[in-house]
Amino acid sequence: MIGLGLIGTGGMANHHATQYSKIEGVKIIACCDVSKERASAFAAKWQVPRIYNDYLEMLEKEKLDGVDNVTPDAMHADISIAAVEKGLPILCEKPLASNLADAERMLAAVDRHPVINMVNFSYRNSSGLQAAVEVVRSGALGQLRHVESSYLQSWLASRGWGDWRTGDNWLWRLSTKHGSMGVLGDIGVHIYDMTSFLCGDISEIQCTLRTFDKGVPGNRIGDYVLDANESFVSTVSFKNGGLGTIHASRWAVGHANSLRARVCGDQGAIEIDLDRSYDEYRICSGQDHVDHFKWETVKCPPTPTNYERFVNAIRTGKQDPSDFANGARIQAYLHYSVESDKTGQRVVVP
Ligand SMILES: NC(=O)c1ccc[n+]([C@@H]2O[C@H](COP(=O)([O-])OP(=O)(O)OC[C@H]3O[C@@H](n4cnc5c(N)ncnc54)[C@H](O)[C@@H]3O)[C@@H](O)[C@H]2O)c1
């Protein structure tokens, strides 16, 4: 049996628990939250036998096979490092950290204490994306030329997911003081990961971030100053020579949670649209298809979820590619996006 300790029993933790409940031989044996009420409600719902309010105490007292860090972004670094220093495999929510210095500390920790380390880039759960990555890496599209990818949400305009004005779970995402990097850190991180997973490393970024007037007096609600970015547009160059745009917004009315990537090489193109399907991609490849703008839809066989990958990695000792090193690279893209916005310049990613 794999016994996990889960830290941060808020919204996303319930999704993690649902996913673990589908995996044979896995159990959350302890959970921790600074909110006693949330921890107790989570433990009751998922039959977790032991509850803590201090993660250090949990790490000290429990015999765990792995730790799942589902706390807000600002707590990712210290909690994950504490688990790593105890020699425990760790799955950390995205973004790896709330700044590049913390991401580098986390990377240094797993270098010092080599344990299984993963970041939960959820859209890697798409078998369509996993298969599309294989197609791009096979060279079937030729040389990378042009990329367009986006992640669109609308919860600042829509009440479809609730009213952001009334919940801490929304408000921390709008406040830099509460550790949020805005839409860039929240969902930009996914689209940067998805795009670089498909197209390889990014070498240059020119980014514009935007925070709009939300009609809130003083632009604050209680302790939350609503200063985090809400839309961004980046123009990027890839190390292998392609050019692309990557953008995301919380103001994309009509879209709940839409991720899309279009990748064009000089011999073919591939498209992922997760609104349409998680287990398909579309491809235009081969001279006849290229000449006649013909696309085919390819249905892809299932691939393991991130939760299954984490458990498999614990069982086999074999590291998954969605590791802290990749998480820190994506964090660098976020960092240099902010730098570019500040200076108005294109920034070279070291
Ligand atoms: N991979 C995805 O698609 C995805 C989706 C949503 C959220 N997330 C990420 O998951 C994380 C949590 O998001 P959420 O929506 O569940 O937030 P949330 O605010 O609903 O829950 C976070 C929980 O962590 C607890 N917490 C805070 N500090 C703590 C500490 N020091 N020790 C223990 N518990 C602590 C809070 O009390 C809260 O219950 C964030 O990093 C977020 O970016 C990822």
Domains in the chain (CATH in brackets) are 2-120 (3.40.50.720), 124-308+331-348 (3.30.360.10)
What's the 324 CA to ligand 1 centre distance in angstroms? 18
Q: How far apart are CA 191 and CA 260, in angstroms?
A: 8
Distance 134 CA to ligand 1 centre (A): 32
Sequence-ordered list of residues with C-beta below 8 angstroms from that of 268, at least 6 positions apart, any chain: 140, 141, 142, 283, 284, 285, 286, 289, 290
Give the residues surrounding ligand 1 with Cβ less than 6 Å away: 7-13, 32-35, 38, 55, 70-73, 75, 93-94, 120, 122, 169, 186
Cα(230) to centroid(ligand 1), Å: 19
What residue owns the CA closest to ligand 1's atom 1? 122
What are the structure tokens assigned to 119, written together?
């970041």
> What is residue 98's predicted lDDT score, i.e. its pLDDT?
86
Residue 62, pLDDT > 90, answer yes
Ligand 1 atom closest to 123 (CA): 3
Helix (H) or strand (E) holding 232: strand 231-238
Whether 57 shows a pLDDT value over 90: the answer reads yes
Ligand 1 atom nearest the C-alpha of 32 is 33
Q: How far is the CA of 75 from the centre of ligand 1 (A)?
A: 9
For residue 272, which of 289, 263, 283, 260 has the smallest C-alpha distance?
A: 260
Q: Which of 279, 318, 323 has the alpha carbon at shortest distance from 301?
A: 279
Query: What is the 8 CA–ligand 1 centroid distance (Å)?
Result: 6
Ligand 1 pocket test: pick from 12, 194, 322 the residue with the most ligand atoms within 8 Å of its Cβ.
12
Distance between Cα 114 and ligand 1 center (Å): 25
Q: Where are the alpha helices (DSSP H) in the chain?
A: 11-21, 36-46, 55-61, 76-85, 100-112, 127-137, 168-171, 182-183, 189-199, 287-292, 306-316, 324-343
C-alpha 339 – ligand 1 centre gap (Å):
26
Mutate to test the pocket of ligand 1, among 34, 48, 102 (most ligand atoms within 8 A of CB): 34
Percent of the chain residues past pLDDT 90, beyond the cut: 97
Which ligand 1 atom is at minimum distance from the Cα of 120? 1
Number of alpha carbons in the 13 Å side-chain half-sphere of residue 185: 27
Q: Does residue 58 have a pLDDT over 90?
A: yes
Residue 125: its pLDDT value, please?
Answer: 95
Please tell me the pTM assigned to this model.
0.94
At residue 167, the pLDDT reads: 85
Question: How large is the average pLDDT for residues 22-46?
Answer: 98
276-323 pLDDT, tens per residue? 999 999 999 999 999 999 999 999 999 999 999 999 999 999 999 999
**Does residue 232 have a pLDDT over 90?**
yes
Cα separation of 148 and 127, whole Å? 20
CA distance 187 to 121: 10
Burial of 268 (0-12, 13-18, 19+ CB in 10 A): buried
First to last CA, the chain: 43
Write phi, then psi, for 130 (nearest 5 degrees): -60, -40
Residue 334 has pLDDT above 90, yes or no: yes
Bond preceding residue 95 cis, omega within 30 of 0: yes
Per-residue pLDDT band for 169 (boundaries 50, 70, 90) equals confident
Percent of the chain with pLDDT over 70: 100
Contacts of 23-26 spanning 24+ positions with Cβ under 8 A: 23/307, 23/308, 23/311, 25/1, 26/1, 26/2, 26/311
**Alpha-carbon distances, residue 212 vs 65, 102, 161, 230, 231 (angstroms):** 44, 28, 20, 7, 9
> What atom of ligand 1 comes closest to residue 35's alpha carbon?
37
Contacts of 194 (CB under 8 A, 6+ apart): 121, 123, 129, 149, 259, 261, 272
What's the CA-to-centroid distance between 345 and ligand 1, angstroms?
A: 33
Look at residue 180 in the predicted model and tell me its pLDDT.
87
Residue bearing the CA closest to ligand 1, atom 21: 10
Joined tokens for residue 307: 């939760």
Residue nearest to atom 27 of ligand 1 (CA): 71
Which amino acid is located at 283 in the chain?
I
CA of 349 relative to ligand 1 center, distance in Å: 29
Distance CA 155, CA 333 (A): 24
